Amino acid sequence: MNRFTRVGVLVAASMLVAACAANEASEESAESSQEISTATTLDEAALIESLAAPIVYSDFGSRVIYFVMTDRYANGDPANDSGFLTGPRSVTGFDPTDIGFFHGGDLKGLTGGCTDPERGLQRLADLGFTGIWITPLVVQRTVQGDSAAYHGYWGVDFTTVDPRFGTEDELKTFVDCAHSLGMKVYLDVVVNHTGDVVRLVGSGFVEEPAPPYEAFVLDAEKDLKKPAWMNDVANYHNRGDINWGGCSTACIEQGDFSGLDDLYTEKPEVVDGLAEVFGSWITRFKFDGFRIDTARHVDKDFYNRWIPQILAAARSAGIDDFEIFGETWITEPIEQSKYQRVWGLPNQLDFPLFDVIARYAGGTQGAGGVMLRLEDDDYSRMSDGRAPTPGTFIGNHDTGRTAMMIKAQSGAEGDELLARVNLGHSLLYLLRGAPVIYYGDEFGMIGIGGDKEARHDLFATQVSAWQTQERVGSAPIGAGSSFDVKNHPVGQHLRELAALRKQWSVLWRGATLPRDRNDGAMAISRFDMADQREYVTIFNNSTESRLLEFATSTPSATFTAVWGGVESTNSDADGFVSVEVPPLSAAILRAEAKFPLAKQPPVVSAAPDDFSELWLLSAETSESPQEVSFLIDNGTGWRRVAVDDSFPYRAFVDPNALPTGSTSRIVAVSRFADGTLVPSGIATFTNTK
């Protein structure tokens, strides 16, 4: 049983009186700040006040990211298409007629001279993209089985650029160009595996305590990998392939991913070696962040050992806001959150939201799934106070394209499919997180599957099947280039959405509060704490209009329709509004009055969480928008657990971080839009888990 008792008051009587007075006072008479005093010591009060710092919004959350497969974007230098090798495609890897081989795209083509508004980075900047994520560039194991390494995930020389993608100087030019256009550059890196070079005497995964397979390398390949430590077979698990039909944790973390050599990331020399080689890419080329491929397939301690070294390398290169986000392909939000809360991964791609957003845009799921996923953000809030800003997406190079994902749900064609695709993109841009758009989606590409089937050429393709494939918003491309398609309706919509995020930063840095839903329509409030202003984003996935009636935090105010097809409206004295939402649409309302501040002290409590093994810290407080910092002291001093900026206000504590049977003190501190801090009383709970 959880023992929860009120044992005292954080604030002195004068503070409680002040807090109550602030709750009753008008907004105009509210003080701009308030000192915290305490029944114990002033030093403790000062510490609590300092820990109740404002929520942190990362630069990454402000970005609109274009994810591109370098080999498939544009061919700027045909001379490098075969990697300067001669022979058949089994040697060079080049066959532009086969979807599984190199097609000729490179860094020079992607850069486009930095001034080409039709093809290169300038085109992406004009579409509103402020970040670009590129697939791995390291030297590849050219061909494995019936496919080539055009995608970049079969690295063997991690020290330099594969010649098919270009040269180191061309990479520097690419990064410099992106930076000059205001774009951050995120490099895809692989820390889980290398290309398949190590041979095993066996194949299926073998669990401990059984020994690993005997491993060897052919004489001709014994020095193939770089750095040199990668050629030592002892630096690999050598336990055989992952069994995708049923796999233990050890199998997931130690098995060969589709036959690729699984690195022994538990070994310090492997961790340090990976930190050194990837740190050098930051130092030499000034990348702004890494996307981590197959991020859930390394051991759980890896990130806590590797990432500090990577961040140190970034700081030494003058990059203080280096971003790291992982591909943790887990659609269950609590399980995925462990990679941040426990295992040290700074950020992730939002697979839980991906799992529901395509269904919502496709019309096969109502608004409840999306709203619930947004509330699940609380499981990823951590002591650094950073607001959840995952990379959000609907389609990618593995799952298949956005239009395909939505079409698979809805069965829609023509104008309805276009409207649903635009609705899906509206969700990405108008909700929290950094929207990630997969290259080619801006040209209406649909595709017929994931993986190879979703990795189309933007330049004129020689793949006959791709020439005749259906597109949304335009005709099949034929023998032409996608770059010749002007003003595509999907691309135009993306440009419009990017302009909205640029105009109103609340769309990426505002607190998110799901309001109401009705048969496919939903309203979500966003709060600009600096301007004390409420915005409401509205969506409808139905082919019919829907009426939404919902509460806001701004009573007796005009809500102006600033974008989309809804009409402006007024809230009543209790803050309720009524809006008719057109079919398959999105819209934004903006309150013309500031939301009031109701500064009552929060009431903090602790209880076992119903959905996880964690302790749930909750704060009951006023309905006024606020940030609530949760602090805990288990005998070693106060520390922050998390900051929550939207109802329900809560934080989560791992019982494994507290001694069994120990009693901890907890406190919640509300921060209002004018900077006022209002604390709760101190409460205690005993860790009985």
Residues with a catalytic annotation lie at: 293, 327
Beta bridge partners of 579: 548
CB atoms within 10 A of CB 159: 13
Q: Give the three-state DSSP class for 161.
A: strand
Rg (CA), the chain: 27
User: Does the CA dihedral 232-233-237-240 come out positive or negative?
Assistant: positive
CA distances to 110, 247, 264, 645 from 83, rounded to whole Å, are 17, 38, 30, 51
Please give the structure tokens belonging to residue 527: 């709060």
Torsion of CA 119, 124, 127, 129, to 10 degrees: 170
Q: β-strands 131-134, 65-68: how paired?
A: parallel
Q: Per-residue DSSP letters for 381-447?
A: --TT-BPP-PEE-S-BTTTB-HHHHHHHHH---HHHHHHHHHHHHHHHHHSSSEEEEETTGGGTB--
Whether 427 and 360 have beta carbons less than 8 Å apart is answered as yes
Eight-state DSSP code of residue 70? G
Report the DSSP beta bridge partners of residue 539.
522, 586
Secondary-structure percent of the chain, ordered helix, strand, coil, rounded to 5: 30, 25, 45
Is 307 strand, coil or helix? helix
Residue 263 has what DSSP assignment? Answer: B
How far, CA to CA in Å, does 458 sit from each of 4, 107, 264, 395? 61, 14, 38, 17
Q: Are strands 323-326 and 347-348 parallel, antiparallel or unpaired?
A: parallel
Burial state string for 170-209 with b = 16 or more CB within 10 A and e = fewer than 16: bbebbbebbeebebbbbbbbbbbbbbbbbebeeeebbeee
CB 499 within 8 A of CB 431: no
> In this structure, are strands 576-581 and 546-551 parallel, antiparallel, or unpaired?
antiparallel
DSSP 19-64: HHHHHHS-GGG--S------SS-HHHHHHHHHHSPPPB--TGGG--
Cβ neighbourhood burial of 9 (10 Å; 0-12, 13-18, 19+): middle
DSSP structural state of residue 470: -
